């Protein structure tokens, strides 16, 4: 990667090219469960901006710049009262849209409050997450119709974790099908011991799948093809949706998996993990396992959201038994992914990489983001703002070897409607 492209991709703060692009899409800001009606403000940091979120006494959510428009006191200490936020320092009070409605330290006849606006961002709650739009008000799109946002709330479980790396470093692990049978080899071996888990056998058998891609307005359709039976191939089809949403298939009648990758700044990110079933509510035992920590949902500290398997314990978890080599202690699937992407450093210098054929999807997604950010600087509107363009689900299936039009062969299964759901192999 050229240095100028690396720099453009890396920087997400206000006024940067990539930051401006990301702000044109809805952003996962925090879990809905983090806010209590009439309760304490919660600090939130997104794309280099320090913010506070509240749920007012009517249950509506507001997201404000943390520094009061008066003299910069933190609104984390503000009073959440009467459906508004009142700064503790001089009592300036704001509606959820940032309108200043009271300035008790000014004379009653003063109209100065009519000239003041606190930065505030519109929010939507959907399936356990508060989504924020941080771009120009007149450009606000609809919330994307990703399947984990359109199914009933009973069909979805979402968790959140903190990750110490640039948001794209983590996201690119989801785009990389070739690491599946290498990094996660021991886990695949365990699953391949069950003869019904044919996909684990196929994934282990072939470490260099053939990668296929197709460009969509909403992102990229990607498929990894591996040898299956004598006359079939194993196809694993994922989606990357702009700017930072990923889906991947889970075999059997199990909930599917997705991520929303959200920059905190240029060295930290939030990772929102979604498990959803397209056609039925989640079972109690499934949710209990996810809350405890599963393959998809990393166990985290309930206050900081830092994974309990982290760099301080070599990603083995607290009180882990000694091992001969560090890699032997990294046994959980998400811990393995986190260890690799964090081990690159918070922001890896991509000019030092040596990409190969299996990195095709990684290169293409970076290119899409860089090109879109540069185009926006020239006044070209971003792609992927049509909510309906996100209505695709991941899948893994077996197809005859003579099938060459792979997208057409799986089009109906990918169509995110309950009646089209077919369990992945």
Q: Is residue 12 part of a domain?
A: no
Question: Given a cut of 90, is residue 377 above it in pLDDT?
Answer: yes
Please indicate, yes or no, whether residues 186 and 318 belong to a single structural domain of this protein.
yes
Per-residue pLDDT band at 111 (split at 50, 70, 90): confident
256 alpha-carbon distance from chain centroid:
15
Domain count across the chain = 2
Q: Are 131 and 26 in contact (CB under 8 A)?
A: yes
What per-residue confidence (pLDDT) applies to 183? 94
Please indicate, yes or no, whether residues 108 and 59 belong to a single structural domain of this protein.
yes
Q: Is residue 19 part of a domain?
A: no
Nearest partner of 335 among 310, 354, 360, judged by Cα: 310
CATH number of the structural domain spanning residue 277 = 3.90.380
Please indicate, yes or no, whether residues 81 and 176 belong to a single structural domain of this protein.
no
pLDDT digits (tens, 9 = 90+) for 211-257: 999 999 999 999 999 999 999 999 999 999 999 999 999 999 999 99
Nearest partner of 336 among 223, 207, 182, judged by Cα: 182
Please indicate, yes or no, whether residues 112 and 258 belong to a single structural domain of this protein.
no
Q: Is residue 255 part of a domain?
A: yes
Q: Is residue 11 part of a domain?
A: no
pLDDT digits (tens, 9 = 90+) for 298-316: 999 999 999 999 999 999 9
Per-residue b or e along 139-160, where b marks 16 or more CB atoms closer than 10 Å to that residue's CB:
eeeebbbbbbbbbeeebbbbbb
DSSP state of 126: E
pLDDT digits (tens, 9 = 90+) for 11-62: 999 999 999 999 999 999 999 999 999 999 999 999 999 999 999 999 999 9
Q: Is residue 257 part of a domain?
A: yes
Please indicate, yes or no, whether residues 187 and 243 belong to a single structural domain of this protein.
yes
- How many angstroms separate the CA atoms of 214 and 239, rounded? 10
What per-residue confidence (pLDDT) applies to 203? 85
Per-residue pLDDT band at 122 (split at 50, 70, 90): very high
Q: Is residue 187 part of a domain?
A: yes
Please indicate, yes or no, whether residues 344 and 297 belong to a single structural domain of this protein.
yes
DSSP labels for 41-110?
-EEEEETTEEEEEEE-TTS-EEEEESB-TTT--BGGGSEEETTEEE-TTT--EE-TT-BEEE-TTS-TT-
Please indicate, yes or no, whether residues 37 and 151 belong to a single structural domain of this protein.
no
Last residue of a domain, one of 138, 157, 173: 138
Q: Which residues are paired to 52 by β-bridges?
A: 43, 64
Q: Where are the beta strands (DSSP E) in 110-244?
A: 120-121, 123-126, 129-133, 156-163, 210-216, 219-227, 232-241
Per-residue pLDDT band at 96 (split at 50, 70, 90): very high
Cα atoms found within 13 Å of the Cα of residue 367, Cβ hemisphere only? 8
Last residue of a domain, one of 112, 138, 164: 138
Nearest partner of 275 among 267, 292, 264, judged by Cα: 292
CATH number of the structural domain spanning residue 134 = 2.102.10.10
Q: Is residue 20 part of a domain?
A: no
Please indicate, yes or no, whether residues 124 and 151 belong to a single structural domain of this protein.
no
Q: Is residue 3 part of a domain?
A: no
Question: Given a cut of 90, is residue 142 above it in pLDDT?
Answer: yes
**Which residue range(s) make up the domain with 329?**
147-420
Question: Given a cut of 80, is residue 195 above it in pLDDT?
Answer: no
Last residue of a domain, one of 138, 172, 193: 138
Please indicate, yes or no, whether residues 120 and 172 belong to a single structural domain of this protein.
no
Per-residue pLDDT band at 152 (split at 50, 70, 90): very high
Q: Which residues are paired to 50 by β-bridges?
A: 45
C-alpha dihedral (198, 200, 206, 208), degrees to nearest 10: 130
């Amino acid at each position: 990667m050229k240095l100028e492209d690396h720099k453009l991709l890396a920087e997400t703060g206000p006024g940067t090219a990539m930051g401006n692009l990301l702000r044109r899409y809805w952003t996962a800001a925090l879990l809905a469960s983090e806010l209590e009606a009439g309760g304490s403000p919660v600090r939130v940091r997104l794309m280099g901006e320090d913010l506070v979120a509240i749920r007012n006494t009517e249950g509506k959510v507001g997201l404000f710049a943390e520094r009061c428009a008066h003299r910069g006191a933190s609104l984390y200490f503000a009073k959440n009262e009467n459906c508004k936020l009142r700064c503790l320092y001089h009592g300036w009070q704001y509606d959820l849209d940032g309108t200043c409605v009271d300035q008790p330290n000014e004379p009653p006849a003063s109209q100065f409050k009519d000239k003041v606006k606190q930065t505030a961002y519109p929010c939507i709650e959907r399936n356990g997450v508060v989504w924020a739009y941080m771009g120009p008000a007149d450009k606000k799109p609809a919330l994307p119709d990703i399947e984990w946002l359109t199914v009933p709330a009973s069909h979805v479980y979402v968790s959140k974790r903190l990750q110490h790396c640039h948001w794209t470093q983590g996201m690119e692990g989801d785009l990389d099908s070739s690491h599946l049978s290498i990094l996660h080899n021991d886990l695949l071996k365990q699953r391949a011991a069950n003869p019904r888990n044919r996909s684990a056998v196929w994934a282990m058998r072939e470490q260099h799948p053939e990668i296929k891609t197709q460009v969509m307005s909403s992102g990229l359709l990607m498929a990894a093809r591996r040898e299956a039976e004598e006359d079939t191939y194993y196809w694993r089809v994922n989606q990357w949706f702009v700017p930072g949403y990923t889906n991947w298939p889970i075999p059997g009648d199990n909930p599917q998996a997705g991520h929303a990758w959200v920059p905190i700044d240029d060295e930290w990110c939030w990772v929102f993990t979604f498990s959803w079933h397209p056609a039925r509510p989640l079972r109690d035992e499934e949710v209990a396992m996810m809350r405890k920590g599963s393959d998809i949902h990393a166990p985290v500290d309930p206050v900081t959201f830092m994974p309990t398997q982290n760099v301080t314990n070599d990603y083995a978890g607290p009180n882990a038994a000694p091992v001969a080599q560090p890699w032997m202690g990294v046994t959980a699937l998400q811990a393995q992914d986190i260890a690799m992407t964090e081990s690159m450093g918070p922001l890896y210098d991509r000019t030092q990489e040596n990409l190969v054929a299996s990195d095709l999807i990684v290169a293409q997604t970076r290119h899409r983001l860089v090109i879109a950010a540069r185009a926006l600087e020239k006044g070209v509107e971003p792609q992927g703002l049509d909510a309906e363009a996100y209505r695709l689900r991941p899948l893994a299936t077996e197809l005859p070897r003579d099938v060459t039009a792979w997208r057409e062969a799986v089009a109906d299964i990918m169509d995110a409607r309950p009646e089209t759901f077919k369990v992945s192999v």
